[in-house]
Structure 1
Amino acid sequence: MNHNFIATPSYTKQIIKRYAFAFKKSLGQNFLIDVNILENIIRHSGITKDSGVIEIGPGIGALTEQLAIHAERVMALEIDQRLLPILDETLNEYNNVSIVHDDVLKANLHELIQSHFRPGQDIHIVANLPYYITTPILMKLLHENLPIENITVMIQKEVADRMAAKPNTKSYGSLSLAIQYYTIADVVMQVPKTVFMPQPNVESSILRLTMREKAPVHVEDEEFFFSVMKACFAQRRKTILNNLTAFFKPTLQKGKIVQLLSEVDIDATRRGESLTMQEFAAIGNIFYSYVQDDKK
């Protein structure tokens, strides 16, 4: 059946022509036209014949088809109404696929999981994500505490590098920490522009996020931890002392900030990019308890 796969340039062109489909820049539509790349994505995602898969933005069904072949059930969320009749046609021989016309940012994913998969099923999220909205989608998936194993996504290389970055690198920042607080992040593969139609102007990577059983650090208050951490990167070239002074203004003076940092053995002249997740947790916790005590 290989010659008939959706993920070929000729079949993709044929479908686009038949449905007079025009790519919407606003939806970041780039369709995959290389079966090998799709098989690699699936291999890295660890899907088995028993798995359930959630796909975001199936397009004309290139990845969906491969997921249907390798997994037990696939539920794909598609926001673009024009693609629904196309997907009906391209996936008609797979009876283990459901297409849900919904926006992933607004969808109730817990309900969708309950209605489409077996209780306790091993569930994965796999997607070729539109570049302009990658971060909000991933943050929503991570915040919702979904019963999933991992998330394997094709995204812009630069964003993948930031999400998987380690301290003391140019790509490391609050996004790296936010992602790595919830998951173990690995860039598993680089992807050439030539496997897409139309070709994007950016390089792509496949990023695998494996959900953590529990956070790698203890934080007193997650929201506070994330906001202090973000503040430390507000101006990358500035020291954490300057960034935190701006953040806590006018409630905390410089002297107090230096004192609190030294209580957790952190030098106030360091920059955000040199701090590990453990050090950020220590900073977040000491400032949190100080601010709480101050309120009493």
Structure 2
Amino acid sequence: MADKKLYSPNTIKDIMARHGFKFSKKLGQNFLIDGNIISSICENSEISELDGVIEIGPGIGVLTYELCKRAKKVVAIELDKSLVPVIEENMEEFDNFKLIQGDVLNVDLEKLIEDEFSGMNVKVVANLPYYITTPIIMKLLEERLKIDKIVVMVQKEVADRLSSGPGSKDYGAITVAVRYYSDAHTIVKVPNTVFMPRPNVDSAVIALDIYKEPRINVADEKLMFKIVKAAFGQRRKTVLNAVGSLDIGISKEELREVLEGEGIDPVRRGETFSIEEFARLSDRIGEKLSLKSQ
């Protein structure tokens, strides 16, 4: 069977007319109409016939079609009920495709992987809805799922945040969190002209190569991320004032002692801290709290 060019604007318009479908701005529906971008996403995902793929927000199947040609199995999760008959029709030639209708944030992904991808390497590949990008990425990382790689289209400014470094204006709490679990890098920048309908922002495809274990050892992850969020909560504050305002049982003077003991200037701002420095600070604060409780 000849390949369907589901990314063709005329094809998309025809499908929409036949099914009476209308784009939902609320659900952030913007379909790719550039075959080269779709190929780039798939190639950089390094999908083989041994891989299982989870796709989030498949839409009418523009990216899904190419994924099904390459992977051993593709499971797509779509929130919009009205798209179920559309994507099922467009994927009818593939016996390695399964559609789950629902909200990915409510799906038990650990069980899905166990049930659907036994013996396979698992990757997540998607053109993510921009209004919910960060919660989806953090769910995928924080649940420590058995996935090797995440390749997703996101808003360009989100990609800049995820792949930035200390001292950059784009560096923030989400950057530290993502870097804790993965190696993040931007693959390609994507103009808004390759979508239907055209969004107001440009996009980028970003790859997250998942670490088997977090890149650093930290005694208390929850404490570290509390410190990270506090440090970036008010960017203009020094780390002494930002973290010192946390209700974790340590005074500002005790925090100053910890910082100086680690050779960290208390007047530095959180945006200058590497993930390794956040981990060191967290461990020393944890030790201080432990000694106080004895």
Same fold (TM over 0.5): yes
- In structure 2, the partner of 1:144 is 143
- In structure 2, the partner of 1:67 is 67
Cα distance change on mapping 1:90 and 1:295 into 2, 3 Å: same
Does structure 2 retain, via aligned residues, the 8 Å contact 1:52–1:123?
yes
Q: 1:240, 1:64 → 2: CA distance?
A: 45
Q: In structure 1, what residue type is equivalent to 2:260?
A: S
Structure 1 unmatched ranges of 5 or more: none
How far has the Cα of 1:253 moved from its partner? 3.2
| RMSD of aligned alpha carbons | 1.3
- In structure 1, the partner of 2:291 is 293
Residues 30-41 of structure 1 aligned to structure 2 (within 5 Å): 30-41=30-41
Counterpart of 2:264 (choices 251, 263, 266) is 266
- In structure 2, the partner of 1:227 is 226
Does structure 2 retain, via aligned residues, the 8 Å contact 1:264–1:283?
yes
Q: Structure 1-normalised TM-score? A: 0.96
- In structure 2, the partner of 1:99 is 99
Does structure 2 retain, via aligned residues, the 8 Å contact 1:229–1:284?
no
Which deviations, in whole Å up to 9, do the C-alpha atoms of 1:34-53 show, x marking residues without a partner?
Answer: 11111000111111122110
- In structure 2, the partner of 1:44 is 44
Cα distance change on mapping 1:80 and 1:139 into 2, 3 Å: same
- In structure 2, the partner of 1:85 is 85
Q: Structure 2-normalised TM-score? A: 0.97
How far has the Cα of 1:234 moved from its partner? 1.5
- In structure 1, the partner of 2:191 is 192
Q: 2:283, 2:244 → 1: CA distance?
A: 17
Which deviations, in whole Å up to 9, do the C-alpha atoms of 1:18-76 show, x marking residues without a partner?
Answer: 11111112211111111111100011111112211000011000000000011111000
Q: 1:31, 1:189 → 2: CA distance?
A: 17
- In structure 2, the partner of 1:169 is 168
Q: 2:240, 2:12 → 1: CA distance?
A: 54
SS in 2 for 1:4: coil
Pairs aligned (count): 294
- In structure 1, the partner of 2:235 is 236
Does structure 2 retain, via aligned residues, the 8 Å contact 1:168–1:274?
yes
Q: In structure 2, what residue type is equivalent to 1:177?
A: V
Structure 2 unmatched ranges of 5 or more: none
How far has the Cα of 1:116 moved from its partner? 1.5
Q: In structure 2, what residue type is equivalent to 1:17?
A: A
How far has the Cα of 1:79 moved from its partner? 1.2
Q: 2:217, 2:259 → 1: CA distance?
A: 17
Percent identity of paired positions between Structure 1 and Structure 2: 43
How far has the Cα of 1:109 moved from its partner? 0.9
Q: In structure 1, what residue type is equivalent to 2:8?
A: T
